[in-house]
């Protein structure tokens, strides 16, 4: 009988993952998803769902909402992507990863028959999640969009609420080369009669969402206009949100982008209450304060060490890096050292143009086929005055930065989700 490891390896090999190979694994259109849905007996219809899309902030929003609902005594499924260290991170119930035995059972039972549909890796794992949530009788599942929205596999669900965090230029070859075009793809998760929460949107992007909501008859709520808090102040490594629907709240996630995410989450919670969810104020406070413990969220301005201060973050496009660059500029340190790697389908120049010139760079590459080589990143960085050395892998680059550092320095590791993934795997193995 095949081991768990060999089954997972086969899953990657037979059903190519976007995480590994990029656009070659992307299968636009819902025909396959709808066929698989019928094949598996529409498992998502047995539990309530909340659909979360957008360019940046999907993970933080999904995990925090899951934490809040867990503390409200709901049995909560959480489906997100990509994973960092372990495939099973994608599928959780009340913070617990799907057991290896359940992954094995699904793959042994279904991968051969499902192969007749020629599914993508994401299509198959989506239905693994739906099947598991149905079997485990979750009350509600937070379902994060994989890519885009309109044609994403997850769009077979009919949720209680659709959330779109924001729009930034990412996956432009697949979704479109300007913000309104990408917004139209993301807006595809807005459905008839179902409340839609929009995190950040202005101008033409806002019009796209409003037009879609009007077309399908969906009530729409813009977080930026919802007065969900009176103030957000950095506090104790996270944020203190004052004047919210639950009073004063401390959120443990410390990235600058979290102020925007918090407004989105609080707007969503207010509307979930309106449609009958029982969410006490204490659950909101505890969910914000304990999201990493309750859900296993990693890689969001995550502190790994104090001396030198060591932070990793999965932000990887202009929309995410703009916050990171600002936060790096605002963090006092003697020397800033940045371990940086990128993948080949991003706006590399756009990201590099935002990063601080005074830092010492440790250019590297993640262990995925999509990764740019360290030399390619270093070469692309030269016009922006970013100087440093090249390293063959993330662990070597990280160890070099650590060796060069004094206690008052800061080390930042990022540029790609997969750089952070390699780093966390290395640290967990030590």
| 3-class DSSP string for the chain | CCCHHHHHHHHHHHCCCHHHHHHHHCCCCCHHHHHHHHHCCCHHHHCEEEEEECCCCHHHHHHHHHHHHHHCCCCEEEECCCCCCCHHHHEEECCEECCHHHHHHHHHHHHHHHHHHCCCHHHHHHHHHHHHHHHCCCCEEEEECCCCCCCCHHHHCCCCEEEECCCCCCCHHHHCCCHHHHHHHHHHHCCCCCCEEECCCCHHHHHHHHHHHHHHCCCEEEHHHCCCCCEEEEECCEEEEEEEECEEEEECCCCCCHHHHHHHHHHHHHHHHHCCCCCCHHHHHHHHHCHHHHHCCCCCCEEEEECCEEEECCCCCHHHHHHHHHHHHHCCCCCEEEEECCECCCCHHHHHCCCCCCCEEEECCCCCCCECCHHHHHHHHHHHCCEEEECCCHHHHHHHHHHHCCCCCEEEEECCHHHHHHHHHHHHHC
pLDDT digits (tens, 9 = 90+) for 327-357: 999 999 999 999 999 998 778 999 999 999 9
Confidence at residue 89, expressed as pLDDT on a 0 to 100 scale: 97
- Ordered by start, the domain boundaries in the chain are 4-295, 302-425
pLDDT digits (tens, 9 = 90+) for 146-168: 988 999 999 999 999 999 999 87
pLDDT digits (tens, 9 = 90+) for 307-318: 999 999 999 889
pLDDT digits (tens, 9 = 90+) for 87-109: 999 999 999 999 999 999 999 99
Question: Is the confidence at residue 113, as pLDDT, over 80?
Answer: no
Confidence at residue 28, expressed as pLDDT on a 0 to 100 scale: 60
| pLDDT interval class at 170 (50, 70, 90) | low
Mean pLDDT, range 111-128, rounded to an integer: 85
Single pTM value for the model: 0.93
Confidence at residue 35, expressed as pLDDT on a 0 to 100 scale: 92
Confidence at residue 17, expressed as pLDDT on a 0 to 100 scale: 55
CATH class, range 4-295:
alpha beta
pLDDT digits (tens, 9 = 90+) for 53-81: 998 999 999 999 999 999 999 999 999 99
Percent of the chain with pLDDT over 90: 81
Least confident piece of the model among 46-50, 179-183, 243-247, 388-392: 179-183
| Range with the largest mean pLDDT of 174-188, 274-288, 333-347 | 274-288
Q: Please state which architecture CATH assigns to domain 302-425.
A: Alpha-Beta Complex (3.90)
| pLDDT interval class at 409 (50, 70, 90) | very high
Confidence at residue 402, expressed as pLDDT on a 0 to 100 scale: 98
Percent of the chain with pLDDT over 70: 95
């Amino acid at each position: 009988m095949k081991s768990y490891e060999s089954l997972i390896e086969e899953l990657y090999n037979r059903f190519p993952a976007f995480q590994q190979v990029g656009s070659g694994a992307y299968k636009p259109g819902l025909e396959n998803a709808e066929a698989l849905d019928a094949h598996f007996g529409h498992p998502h219809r047995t539990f309530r769902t909340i659909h979360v899309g957008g360019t940046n902030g999907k993970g933080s929003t999904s995990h925090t909402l899951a934490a809040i609902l867990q503390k409200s005594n709901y049995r909560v499924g959480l489906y997100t992507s990509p994973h960092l260290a372990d495939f099973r991170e994608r599928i959780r119930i009340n913070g617990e990863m799907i057991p290896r035995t359940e992954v094995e059972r699904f793959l042994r039972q279904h991968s051969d028959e499902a192969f007749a549909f020629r599914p993508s890796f994401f299509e198959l794992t989506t239905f693994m999640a739906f099947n598991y949530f149905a079997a485990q009788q979750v009350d509600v599942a937070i379902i994060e969009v994989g890519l885009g929205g309109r044609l994403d596999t997850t769009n077979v669900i009919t949720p209680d609420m659709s959330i779109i965090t924001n729009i930034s230029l990412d996956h432009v070859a697949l979704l479109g080369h300007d913000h309104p075009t990408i917004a139209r793809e993301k807006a595809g998760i807005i459905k008839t009669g179902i409340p839609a929460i929009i995190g950040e949107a202005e101008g033409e992007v806002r019009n796209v969402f409003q037009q879609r909501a009007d077309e399908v008859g969906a009530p729409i709520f813009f977080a930026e206009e919802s007065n969900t808090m009176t103030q957000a102040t950095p506090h104790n490594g996270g944020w203190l949100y004052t004047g919210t629907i639950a009073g004063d709240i401390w959120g443990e996630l410390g990235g600058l982008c979290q102020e925007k995410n918090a407004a989105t989450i609080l707007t969503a919670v207010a509307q979930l209450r309106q449609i009958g969810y029982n969410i006490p104020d204490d659950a909101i406070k505890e969910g914000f304060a304990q999201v990493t413990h309750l859900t296993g969220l990693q890689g969001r301005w995550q502190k790994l060490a104090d001396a030198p201060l060591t932070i990793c973050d999965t932000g990887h496009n202009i929309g995410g890096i703009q916050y990171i660059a600002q936060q790096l500029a605002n963090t006092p340190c003697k020397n800033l050292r940045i371990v940086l790697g990128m993948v080949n389908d991003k706006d590399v120049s756009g990201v590099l143009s935002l990063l601080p010139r005074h830092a010492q760079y440790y250019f590297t590459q993640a262990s995925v086929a999509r990764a740019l080589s360290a030399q390619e990143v270093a070469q692309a960085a030269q016009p922006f005055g970013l100087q440093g050395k090249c390293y063959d892998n993330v662990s070597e680059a990280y160890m070099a930065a650590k060796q060069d550092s004094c206690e008052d320095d800061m080390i930042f590791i990022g540029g790609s989700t997969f750089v952070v993934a390699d780093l966390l795997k290395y640290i967990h193995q030590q």
